[in-house]
Amino acid sequence: MAFDSSLRNAGDHIENVIVTWTQPIKPHLPSISRFLIVATFYEDAFRIVVQWGIQLAYLSERCHLPHILTAIYLVINVASMVAFSSCIITKRHVTISVIALLGVVATQALMYGLVFDMLFFLRNLSIMGGLLLCLSESLLRHQSSQKTSAMFALPQMSESEKHKYFQLAGRVLLVLLFVGFIFNGEWGVLRTVFSLIGLVACVMVVVGFRARWSAMFLVSLLCVMNMLLNNWLSLSGYQRDFVKYDFFQTLSIVGGLLLLISIGPGGLSYDEKKKEF
């Protein structure tokens, strides 16, 4: 009992420190988080425009489609990523925007043939988790009113209930990127230690136990890993493009974790259940 009490007190102290240090940016944290979550979509849209000829030729050859159809797909892709990402940042039509960007992620995986690339698959699931947290945050803001379009409404569920389930799904999906990192690459003593600590933090985020400071730890870890593993500024050619893509995707997942820190783990979590007793 004494050990359990000490552990609880240590956790409370760490959480209070995080709250204190993040207090100056707390009002801006949701906006920063939403921008980071959609950063990968802006980067992807910019890359398609800059490399238009290469993208057009590659997709036309790979999917055996006429250039005109491929061009239409790319135009829709770019327009969707820019428009709906901007909507999420400005908190307009969030439900439709999240659904549209989820569709972009899914269609890109199919069109570029990356469905069976496990790390890419897990990374995209994590980005989907960040988008679901954006949707959860939007529902949290509007849970007092029942104005969500009937087209997207879930039957017999209030705004508050939908918020909790989307938040749970977002938490689960967010940590999958780190799971992918754990099982990708060569093992060493340092990698093993960081992987075990990170895995514990992932489990804590999923169950919602001390979710804010475990998410803060994962943010710190992912930022370091992103700068070391995805240092695209030091590269050139096609390798630069691939690493830059990975960098911005990881940045989007960092944004999802920051949004989790901002809005909390939600009703379906250990932290919230503990408050009921």
Q: How far, in Å, CA of 273 to CA of 277, rounded?
A: 7
Is the pLDDT confidence value at 3 over 50?
Answer: no
Count of CA atoms in the C-beta half-sphere (13 A) of 30: 16
* Mean pLDDT to the nearest integer, 41-67: 93
* Mean pLDDT to the nearest integer, 229-254: 86
Which of 263 and 27 is assigned the larger pLDDT?
Answer: 263
pLDDT digits (tens, 9 = 90+) for 251-261: 998 999 999 88
pLDDT digits (tens, 9 = 90+) for 94-148: 999 999 999 999 999 899 888 788 888 888 899 999 999 999 888 876 664 554 4
Examine residue 16 and state whether it is found in any structural domain, yes or no.
no
Q: What is the pLDDT of residue 36?
A: 94
Q: What is the pLDDT of residue 81?
A: 97
Is the pLDDT confidence value at 274 over 70?
Answer: no
Q: Which amino acid is at 169?
A: A
Q: Taking all residues of the chain, what is their mean pLDDT, rounded to a whole number?
A: 82
User: Residues of the chain with pLDDT > 70: what percent?
Assistant: 78
Query: Domains in the chain: how many in total?
Result: 1
Which of 170 and 145 is assigned the larger pLDDT?
Answer: 170
| Chain center to CA of 199 | 17
Residues spanned by the domain of 166:
25-143+157-275
Examine residue 173 and state whether it is found in any structural domain, yes or no.
yes
Examine residue 33 and state whether it is found in any structural domain, yes or no.
yes
Is the pLDDT confidence value at 153 over 60?
Answer: no
Examine residue 182 and state whether it is found in any structural domain, yes or no.
yes
Examine residue 202 and state whether it is found in any structural domain, yes or no.
yes
Examine residue 207 and state whether it is found in any structural domain, yes or no.
yes
DSSP string, the chain: -HHHHHHHHHHHHHHHHHHHHHGGGGGGHHHHHHHHHHHHHHHHHHHHHHTHHHHHHHHHHHHT--HHHHHHHHHHHHHHHHHHHHHHHTTSSHHHHHHHHHHHHHHHHHHTT-TT-HHHHHHHHHHHHHHHHHHHHHHHHTTTS--S-TTTPPTT--HHHHHHHHHHHHHHHHTHHHHHHHTSS---HHHHHHHHHHHHHHHHHHHTSSHHHHHHHHHHHHHHHHHHH--GGG--HHHHHHHHHHHHHHHHHHHHHHHHHHH-S-SSSHHHHHHT-
Helices 29-50, 94-111: inter-axial angle, 10-degree rounding: 40
Is the pLDDT confidence value at 245 over 90?
Answer: no
pTM above 0.85, yes or no: no
Q: What is the pLDDT of residue 154?
A: 45
Is the pLDDT confidence value at 250 over 70?
Answer: yes
* Mean pLDDT to the nearest integer, 59-64: 90
Helices 118-141, 237-263: inter-axial angle, 10-degree rounding: 30
Q: What is the pLDDT of residue 95?
A: 92
Q: Is the Cβ–Cβ distance between 98 and 87 less than 8 Å?
A: no
- Comparing CA positions, the residue from 31, 39, 11 lying closest to residue 216 is 11
Structure tokens given for 23 = 């207090």
Structure tokens given for 247 = 């960098």
Q: What is the pLDDT of residue 149?
A: 46
Is the pLDDT confidence value at 226 over 60?
Answer: yes
Examine residue 8 and state whether it is found in any structural domain, yes or no.
no
Examine residue 149 and state whether it is found in any structural domain, yes or no.
no
Q: How far, in Å, CA of 21 to CA of 169, rounded?
A: 28
